[in-house]
Structure 1
Amino acid sequence: MNLTFSGTDGIIILCAYAVITLLIGWWAGRGEKVSNTLGDYYLAGKNLGLIALFFTLYATQYSGNNVVGYAPTAYREGFSWLQSIPFMTIIIGMYLLIAPRLYVLSKRFQFITPADWITHRFRSKSVTLLAVALMLWALCNYLLEQLVAIGHAVAGLTGGAIPYEYAVIGFILVMLAYEWMGGMKAVAYTDVLQGLSLLVGIIILLIGALTLTGGNFAEMTQDLANTVPEKIGVPDTITSINWLSMIVLIGFGAIIYPHAIQRIYSSKSERTLKRSLARMAWMPPVTTGFVFIVGIICLSLYPNLDVAQSEQLIGILANDVAALNSIYYWAMVIFFGAIVSAIISTADSALLSFSSIISKDIYGEYINRKATEAQKVKVGKVAGVVAVALLLWIAWNPPGTLYQIFVLKFELLVQVFPAFGLGLYWKKLAPKPVFIGMLAGALLAGLMTLTGNNTFYGIHGGVLGLALNVSICVIGSLIAPASHEEQEKAIARTELKVADFRDKKATVG
């Protein structure tokens, strides 16, 4: 995103965002020993209210990368990228499938990480460790994606005054600082600022793009039908299958993000969680929907861009919008600052979740069982720094486009879904089929990715792996179900007791 903005203006905006987030981090942790307990540091004391929970869920599902990566994808694929709206919408539906029940159980049994649920439900080290490995892979992949995006966004906003490498390092230090000071509370509160900035910026960018085209979207669409009919016509069969496959892949995969699960745990109440999710249902049309329209508008504004050029699409458009007048200029400068801030808000969530899994599920369970919670938090912080250092080394030479990096992590992460989706409701689900299914699904998806065959007749390797995974879980559990005693224990671990219903009734009232 090479912009012609004044480097000084960009630096001023970025410094302002950095200072504000650092102040929020300090404020979130002031007067409190957030590092003393896992629940306080990683889950904000399980006390996030409606506004903080909504925006931290929003920042988890969307980031500046949605703007930077999705608009170019819409430009290259045309109207078939309309799928970006339903696959973001289905995530909310899948949340509602598992989130309320999982929240109640997490409150009763004091879950901290997603692995706590898996350990609690299956009592199997092999199942837990495999799930942890897949989740850590996804978190590292997700964090790498954000590091790459931070570097490009900052370098573009400052007109190259801050080089890519320095941009990544600088904002990673800012992120680590406020996260160390306030933990999940700092992350959630900064998400409010970052989410609002991103949402307003997307709306302004769309208005600017429409201004450049004269505001006649119908006429522009007709022009596209004449010049690039393949991007506006009815998709072919393979594209349609790929569309449905992507919806399944992301719908079942995104809710298994460890940082998404931990936001469920962090809610102040079940009512707060449901109200936040209800408001999230409106976000796909006004986030990915608006970004999709921006990408389509750019087909008319900037025809015949190749793949490399289209990756710079948002920067090109922002330049032209900024040139309209001084109001748009500063709006675009602030917008790009919001993109950087929003990317960081996604990265900090992934890093915090990564640290929690290392500190509790690996260090606390297998290295030092006698460690205090404060010691575990310290280990998690150090592990996060080490992970960031390794990922920074990779980020200097990022692999593939941002969209390709985005897809890769879901192929493996989605294999953890049956342990949640089936495990929460089906008492006969046995640990051994869950382990074999998860492993088989991951191997199939990974093999297809490594051999360059990401899809089969339009179906993603992760979806084929998930189908194999679920089949093994279901058939294996029917052929060799858990013993009657284990089924009874499963019921005890997953049922909602009368006390839970009383709590919910009191909360709603």
Structure 2
Amino acid sequence: MTDLTFAGIDGVLILSAYAVIMLVIGYFSGRGDKTLHDSMSNYYLAGKNLGFVALFFTLYATQYSGNTIIGYAPTAYRTGFAWLQSITFMTIIIGVYLLFAPRLYVVSKKLNFITPADWITYRFKSKAVTILAVLLMLWGLGNYLLEQLVAIGQAASSLTGGTIPYQVAVIAFVLVMLIYEWLGGMKAVAFTDVMQGLVLMVGIVVFLGGALYLVGGNFTSATEFIANTEPAKLGVPEMMTSVNWLSMILLVGFGAAIYPHAVQRIFAAESERTLKRSFSRMAWMPPITTGLVFVIGILGIALIPNLNEAGSEQLVGLMANEIAGINGFFYWVMIIFFGAIVAAIVSTADSVLLSFSSIVSNDIYSRFINPNAPERKKVMVGKVTGVLAVGVLLWIAWYPPATLYEIFVLKFELLVQVFPAFVLGLYWKRMAAQPVFWGMLAGAVIAGVLTWTGHKTVFGIHGGVIGLAANFLIAVAGSYLVTVEATEEEKEELKKIDLA
């Protein structure tokens, strides 16, 4: 993103204010709670007591990260109206959540789950299935965290007009994140999400208002400009683009719904009613958030035309410079808005890091290395592992390997392979561990090979979707072919989730 030439020292002050607020929230979230660091449920799931406001905003922050603003607007700029798909796949995520979230919540409450792998372990009673699912989830979380670290550096450096260099910005905010998360766990994460979500929503609306003012006050003038200069971005997409659109909907719709940190928010809800209320409000967020960002990208074509791919990655910063010049009101709103973007990126990164730590602690250390360790030690192992993971990803983020959108796509290719085991296993009692394992493995290998050999799509279909199709086929057909008589103990276990 380009430096915001209007900001400089004002941007430094705003970022410092956000950092202080996040640290204060972290301090008060953990203050006075003597059991916070002695219980995995308290530290990683806020005691499974998140109310409606906190749950809604932490779900919002999970689904909408810095990539939504910094990455989606440039993609709309390059793609044109075909990027309407971003609204579609953000909407379908909510639909997929509602397929399994209420049922999974009831099961998790009954059986005291901490991580998504707890469900996989309980359902299939297979170390192989659990380990493979854990590795795929850690892969997805690692990629997502890397994406956020890159976005933190770009946004903070831009807001300060280069006063804070990219690398310094990443380190500074990573330290802030580690401190408040260490102090307050999920409580700190959820409460910072409330602050950041509110400011981000208001900022997007004002940003759009400023962009509309600069292009003549209406959307029609922008579309007329596009029709005259780049009509391909306005026309009906080609068949290959439409196929790719459908593929992207499947990849993101199934993949994002089983983000480990999103699933853990399902576990953290105080009641099933609170969970359903939060999702009913979330259903309005794709047009309000992704839809407005899409419009901003389209307006950018008329406002700052003829940017190449590298230049278009700077679109949001370039537009912010123009908007800030309108008057003093827009100047300060742009600074506060970009501060909120940085804070929102941090809020997504902290959720991912917390989930990453919990999986290492609960599903690797506690399950396979030291099952008898006290909970306080398990929590500490997760914290330390999280710090080490951030260190490795910081080294990678020092010189970002791809555009944000490319990083965004990469994480879903493997993560989505957990979907059949995770969701079908919730409803279908015949689903068996062995075909689930081989289906998940085959899907991951197919998706990985296609992605890493440069074949991200085949005839417009993402490698992850091709792998997912093979995964479903093997898991379902194999479960029909394999006849495994459940023991009486296993039948009793299945009765607990109404599958017997």
Would you call these one fold, judging by a TM-score over 0.5? yes
Indicate which of 474, 487, 491 corresponds to 1:488: 491
Whether contact under 8 Å (1:92, 1:281) holds in the other structure is yes
**What are the residue-to-residue correspondences of 1:176-215 with 2, within 5 Å?**
176-215=178-217
Shift in Å, 1:360: 1.0
**Equivalent position of 2:329 in the other structure:** 327
Shift in Å, 1:297: 0.4
Shift in Å, 1:370: 1.5
1:159-203 C-alpha deviation (Å, 9 max, x unpaired):
111111110000001001110111001100000001111111111
Indicate which of 224, 227, 243 corresponds to 1:222: 224
**Secondary structure in 2 matching 1:424:** helix
Instruction: Verify: 1:8 aligned to 2:39, yes or no.
Output: no
**Secondary structure in 1 matching 2:427:** coil
**Equivalent position of 1:501 in the other structure:** none
Distance in 2 of aligned mates of 1:126 and 1:492: 24
**Equivalent position of 2:444 in the other structure:** 442
Whether contact under 8 Å (1:191, 1:345) holds in the other structure is yes
> What amino acid is aligned across from residue 135 of structure 1 in structure 2?
M
Whether contact under 8 Å (1:64, 1:198) holds in the other structure is no
Whether contact under 8 Å (1:429, 1:474) holds in the other structure is yes
TM-score under structure 1 length normalisation: 0.96
Whether contact under 8 Å (1:64, 1:338) holds in the other structure is no
1:268-318 C-alpha deviation (Å, 9 max, x unpaired):
000000000000000000100000000000111111100110000000000
Indicate which of 33, 57, 60 corresponds to 1:58: 60
Structure 2 unaligned blocks of 5 or more? none
Instruction: Verify: 1:474 aligned to 2:463, yes or no.
Output: no
Whether contact under 8 Å (1:151, 1:165) holds in the other structure is yes
1:418-460 C-alpha deviation (Å, 9 max, x unpaired):
1121000000000000000000000000000011001111110
> What amino acid is aligned across from residue 62 of structure 1 in structure 2?
Y
Distance in 2 of aligned mates of 1:482 and 1:88: 39
Greater mean alpha carbon deviation, residues 263-272 or residues 15-24: 15-24
**Secondary structure in 2 matching 1:412:** helix
Distance in 2 of aligned mates of 1:419 and 1:28: 35
**Equivalent position of 2:260 in the other structure:** 258
**Secondary structure in 2 matching 1:403:** helix
> What amino acid is aligned across from residue 426 of structure 2 in structure 1?
L
Distance in 1 of aligned mates of 2:179 and 2:277: 31
> What amino acid is aligned across from residue 451 of structure 2 in structure 1?
T
Distance in 2 of aligned mates of 1:155 and 1:481: 59
Whether contact under 8 Å (2:73, 2:316) holds in the other structure is yes
Whether contact under 8 Å (2:429, 2:499) holds in the other structure is no
**Equivalent position of 2:51 in the other structure:** 49
Indicate which of 269, 289, 292 corresponds to 1:290: 292
Greater mean alpha carbon deviation, residues 358-367 or residues 405-414: 358-367
> What amino acid is aligned across from residue 241 of structure 2 in structure 1?
T
Greater mean alpha carbon deviation, residues 435-444 or residues 19-28: 19-28
Name the CA shift for 1:440/1:493 in 2 (closer, same or farther; >3 Å): farther
Name the CA shift for 1:496/1:179 in 2 (closer, same or farther; >3 Å): farther
The alignment yields a C-alpha RMSD, in angstroms, of 1.1
Whether contact under 8 Å (2:427, 2:499) holds in the other structure is no
Shift in Å, 1:489: 4.8
Whether contact under 8 Å (1:415, 1:469) holds in the other structure is yes
**Equivalent position of 1:149 in the other structure:** 151
1:111-167 C-alpha deviation (Å, 9 max, x unpaired):
000000000000000000000000001111000000000001111000111111110
Distance in 2 of aligned mates of 1:153 and 1:379: 31
Distance in 2 of aligned mates of 1:436 and 1:50: 39
Shift in Å, 1:367: 1.3
> What amino acid is aligned across from residue 75 of structure 2 in structure 1?
T
**What are the residue-to-residue correspondences of 1:294-373 with 2, within 5 Å?**
294-373=296-375
**Equivalent position of 1:169 in the other structure:** 171
Distance in 1 of aligned mates of 2:270 and 2:218: 46
Name the CA shift for 1:490/1:438 in 2 (closer, same or farther; >3 Å): farther
**Equivalent position of 2:30 in the other structure:** 29
Whether contact under 8 Å (2:149, 2:394) holds in the other structure is yes
Distance in 1 of aligned mates of 2:360 and 2:431: 27
Distance in 1 of aligned mates of 2:22 and 2:106: 32
Distance in 2 of aligned mates of 1:243 and 1:332: 32
Distance in 2 of aligned mates of 1:469 and 1:187: 34
Name the CA shift for 1:496/1:441 in 2 (closer, same or farther; >3 Å): closer
Distance in 2 of aligned mates of 1:493 and 1:416: 22
Distance in 1 of aligned mates of 2:463 and 2:108: 32
Distance in 2 of aligned mates of 1:14 and 1:484: 57
Indicate which of 77, 80, 83 corresponds to 1:81: 83
1:248-275 C-alpha deviation (Å, 9 max, x unpaired):
0000000111100000000000000000
Whether contact under 8 Å (2:77, 2:297) holds in the other structure is yes
Shift in Å, 1:481: 3.6
Shift in Å, 1:490: 5.9
> What amino acid is aligned across from residue 238 of structure 2 in structure 1?
D
Whether contact under 8 Å (1:427, 1:490) holds in the other structure is no
> What amino acid is aligned across from residue 491 of structure 1 in structure 2?
L
> What amino acid is aligned across from residue 6 of structure 1 in structure 2?
A
Shift in Å, 1:219: 2.8
> What amino acid is aligned across from residue 24 of structure 1 in structure 2?
I
Shift in Å, 1:413: 0.3
Greater mean alpha carbon deviation, residues 240-249 or residues 366-375: 366-375
- How many residue pairs get aligned? The number is 497
Distance in 2 of aligned mates of 1:420 and 1:137: 16
Shift in Å, 1:484: 4.1
**Equivalent position of 1:118 in the other structure:** 120
**Equivalent position of 2:240 in the other structure:** 238
> What amino acid is aligned across from residue 488 of structure 1 in structure 2?
K
**Equivalent position of 2:270 in the other structure:** 268
Q: Identity percentage over the alignment?
A: 66
Whether contact under 8 Å (1:121, 1:493) holds in the other structure is no
**Equivalent position of 2:401 in the other structure:** 399
Distance in 1 of aligned mates of 2:457 and 2:271: 41
Structure 1 unaligned blocks of 5 or more? 498-509
> What amino acid is aligned across from residue 353 of structure 1 in structure 2?
S
Shift in Å, 1:392: 0.3
**Equivalent position of 1:131 in the other structure:** 133
**Equivalent position of 2:383 in the other structure:** 381
Name the CA shift for 1:445/1:493 in 2 (closer, same or farther; >3 Å): farther
1:220-254 C-alpha deviation (Å, 9 max, x unpaired):
21221121111010000000000000000000000
TM-score under structure 2 length normalisation: 0.98
Distance in 1 of aligned mates of 2:150 and 2:485: 49
Distance in 2 of aligned mates of 1:300 and 1:489: 63
Whether contact under 8 Å (2:428, 2:499) holds in the other structure is no
